[in-house]
Amino acid sequence: MISGMFSRRKRRTARPVSPALAAAWEALDAGDVPGALRQVWAAGEEQPLAEVALVVGRAAGSAGFTDLADASAALAAAPGDARALYGFGYACVERGVPDLAIPALREALRRSDGALPVLRELVSAYEDEGRHAEAVTDLLRHEDRFADWPDRYLLVHNAVLAGDLDLARRQHALLSDPEDPQWQPARERQNRTLARVADAERAGRLGPADVRGWQYVLGGTVLGTLSPYGFDEGMNGRYAWLQDTPDQCLRGLLRLRALLDGTGVRPRTVSLLPDRDSRILGLAAAEVLGLPAEPFAPGRPDTVVVAYDLDGLAAHDGGPELIGELFERVPGQVLHAHACCWTDPPAVTPDSAALLHQSVVAPWGAQLRPGSDGRIGQGPADDRPEAEIAAGITGADPSGDADGAGDGAGPGDADAEFAAFVTAVAGTWLRGDRARVRSAGPVPSSRFA
């Protein structure tokens, strides 16, 4: 069934004519809404906006997104109207398809003579897509008219995420203190970001492949290990799909211990989160750090809160509430996440992360392995007691690829290099809240579509 906004007659007559979008329409005829949107994305941003609106409107109607269906109908009827263009772009951003919003918002900005509300919505769409350099370009084009809050703030923010630190510093120096108190947390967060830039630059050049340095700049996370595979294939220290190992878990915990030692942080306990993955790793962390393990309690100071994967915690009963309790920093509390997704970052930013991945399977999860017939299949999860699996981590061998050799394409990741980084950033670590950082920053990595 399709939305009632399209009559049967309209289905025969009001349809895209460009070949790429006609293919999207055919996908909708077959009931394949995701396939239709993939066809629109693949067609590129130069397609006629009225025809794009026809496809998006029909898809939105099928999904029950009345706001987007109505905005699409308005744009299809008046593709040159700035209000219709803005309305369509706004609805696309709200419904999580910012890439479809960008061409319409660009045209709305042109037709509205650079109206600032349109510019801000376009910047929001750019940010959602990680296209920070384009946000900077459009903001600079209208610099003579915009306000410090939010426009100059957004310029500094996107300049950092685009890797243009000279521009970010110049514009930050021009940024006045906000008169509206709602912007004060953003002001303080940006001050901390630029302070982290200065520390990270002392540790290295913050170049286009320095994923550890930029991870620290973006959210204050110290990245424990770098993937030693695929540097020449665009991974730059991140993993795509990873079957984790006890060796890698131990190596991450040893880097956490080095981080605590190098910064002079002296926790008294390890706090165990309630999900099974985190409890296993937390028990191992307590052994490695020589600390007692206790169930997590909100507000407990001087403790290391250990998560295997914060996304796994969020899916656990009561997880969203726990995530909320971890947002505000407690004195002496360190949040360590072993596996941190870089394509869909967790709702809170950890202080320490052992590795960055797109998809991960825990060592005790249902991993792919060869069967007795030699065929690869998914084996059973390890259902042994948590303490027994944790003992396997503490008894593992962390030396595999510990020197960063891997496939030989990437830089080294020796303990001495990590220690030097820790020393450089010690003064700005563990500051402020743990706000989510959605952007991967200026360091690209290959990813699954």
Which domains can be identified in the chain, with CATH numbers? 8-129 (1.25.40.10), 207-425 (3.40.50.2020)
Calculate the alpha carbon distances from 362 to 207, 245, 269, 288, 328 in Å: 31, 7, 24, 19, 28
Q: Is the dihedral of CA 422, 412, 221, 135 positive or negative?
A: positive
Which of 104-108, 235-239, 309-313 tops mean pLDDT?
Answer: 104-108
Q: What DSSP element (H or E) covers 12? A: helix 8-13
Task: Say if residue 248's pLDDT is above 70.
Answer: yes
Average pLDDT, the chain: 92
Please state, in angstroms and rounded to a whole number, the distance separating the CA atoms of residues 110 and 102.
Answer: 12
Mean pLDDT of 125-139: 97
Four-CA torsion 126, 132, 138, 140, nearest 10 degrees: 150
The β-bridge relationship of strands 376-378 and 368-370 is: antiparallel
pLDDT given at position 412: 73
Q: Which residues contact 73 (CB under 8 A, 6 or more apart)?
A: 5, 53, 57
pLDDT given at position 10: 39
Please state, in angstroms and rounded to a whole number, the distance separating the CA atoms of residues 407 and 328.
Answer: 40
pLDDT given at position 254: 98
Task: Say if residue 3's pLDDT is above 80.
Answer: no
Task: Say if residue 11's pLDDT is above 50.
Answer: no
Lowest mean pLDDT among 3-12, 92-101, 393-402: 3-12
Mean pLDDT of 293-307: 97
* CA 194 to chain centroid: 20
Taking alpha carbons only, the member of 58, 102, 107 closest to residue 78 is 107
- With bands split at pLDDT 50, 70 and 90, how would you rate the model's confidence at 322? very high
Lowest mean pLDDT among 175-189, 213-227, 306-320, 393-407: 393-407
Share of the chain above pLDDT 70, in %: 94
* CA 361 to chain centroid: 19
pLDDT given at position 407: 63
pLDDT given at position 408: 63
- With bands split at pLDDT 50, 70 and 90, how would you rate the model's confidence at 5? very low
- For the record, the structure tokens of 325 come out as 């309790």
Task: Say if residue 429's pLDDT is above 90.
Answer: yes
Mean pLDDT of 112-131: 97
pLDDT given at position 411: 72
SS3 label, residue 127? helix
- 234 or 386: which leads in pLDDT: 386
- 330 or 8: which leads in pLDDT: 330
Alpha helices in 147-306 (DSSP H): 153-162, 165-174, 184-203, 211-219, 246-263, 276-289
Burial of residue 98 (CB within 10 Å: 0-12, 13-18, 19+) is: buried
Please state, in angstroms and rounded to a whole number, the distance separating the CA atoms of residues 314 and 147.
Answer: 38
Mean pLDDT of 280-285: 98
pLDDT given at position 211: 96
Q: How large is the angle between the packed helices 82-94 and 98-111, nearest 10 degrees? A: 160
Please state, in angstroms and rounded to a whole number, the distance separating the CA atoms of residues 396 and 139.
Answer: 51
Burial of residue 101 (CB within 10 Å: 0-12, 13-18, 19+) is: buried
pLDDT given at position 406: 63
Task: Say if residue 38's pLDDT is above 50.
Answer: yes
Burial of residue 132 (CB within 10 Å: 0-12, 13-18, 19+) is: buried
* CA 17 to chain centroid: 37
Lowest mean pLDDT among 134-143, 402-411, 424-433, 439-448: 402-411
Share of the chain above pLDDT 90, in %: 83
Q: What is the DSSP letter of 112?
A: T
Please state, in angstroms and rounded to a whole number, the distance separating the CA atoms of residues 244 and 250.
Answer: 11
Task: Read off the pLDDT of residues 357-416 as tens digits, 9 standing for 90 and up.
Answer: 999 999 999 998 877 677 788 889 999 999 999 999 999 998 865 444 566 666 778 999
Lowest mean pLDDT among 8-17, 71-80, 84-93, 208-217: 8-17
What does the chain come to in residues? 449
